[in-house]
Copies of this chain bind each other. A is one copy, B any other.
Amino acid sequence: MTLSIYPVSGIGEVEKGVRLGEVIVEALSKIGLTLLKGDIIVVTSKAASKAEGRVVKLSNINPSKKAFRLAKALNKDPRVMELILNESRRVLRAERGIIITQTKHGIVCANSGVDQSNLPAGYAALLPKDPDRSAEVIAEQIAVKSGVRPAVIITDTYGRPWRRGQVQFAIGVYGLRPILDYRGKPDMYGRELKVTEIAVADEIASAAELVMGKTKKCPAALVRGYEYEEGAGKAKDIIRPLKEDLFK
């Protein structure tokens, strides 16, 4: 089995209301690719947010006192801080210019996922409201347009404790089980494996980042040749309840 990962170039700027799944099928066609059964489409949350109109004009935001206070302490724009707080369920850390929150989806990340990169000045993007649903909608649009229903992964870029640099992880999933469960399966000596769960959706997201990059105007990738477990899994399944977390 060879895994192939293709950048879906030629998508261009994503406007509000754009049917991303259709745009992806058209872009694939222009680079000579036809979707096959078992393909996985990876899409950045930024592109999904733009299509879903989750881009906010900062001049329309009136920051709260709390947002002003935190913004000053962390050297951030108070309007952006207002958005970060709005998107959060709770603030876990706020120091040294960094704010880590648990978002309303339950994701733990910096800035509640609010991001200003690859946007015109004066705007910020919020994460999609329900990234699992975003993935499903894109899969449906692709199925209607191409006749093939791929698995879809929506990604965001994450920092990791104890490690420098960021990697792409999955925040929305449709059509594949995000966690591959090895529990009870034997290792090469027939002993039960201790490593029990692999977050394959995160690994696929990271793999796709390698062709998407951050400056290449390439918000999507096609992953072909990965034999995934089909299923109704959601990226929410990857989120570990805070109280179970040993690293916290």
Where the two chains meet, the residues of A that have a C-beta atom closer than 8 Å to any C-beta of B are 1-7, 13, 93, 95-96, 98, 100, 107-108, 115-121, 157, 159-169, 178-180, 182, 185-189, 191, 193-195, 197-200, 202-204, 206-207, 209-211, 214-215, 217, 226, 237-240, 242, 245-248
Contacts and interface: CB of A to CB of B under 8 A. Distances in A.
Can you tell how many copies of this chain the complex includes? 2
B166 A197 contact: yes
B165 A199 contact: yes
A163 B211 contact: no
B189 A118 contact: yes
B210 A200 contact: yes
Nearest to A164: B240
Nearest to A185: B215
Nearest to A228: B210
A202 B239 CA distance: 20
Contact of A165 (B5, B119, B179, B214): B179
Contacts of A169: 163
A199 to B, nearest CB: 3
Sort A-B residue pairs by CB-CB distance and give the 7 closest, nearest first. A165-B199, A161-B247, A207-B207, A206-B206, A203-B206, A108-B162, A3-B5
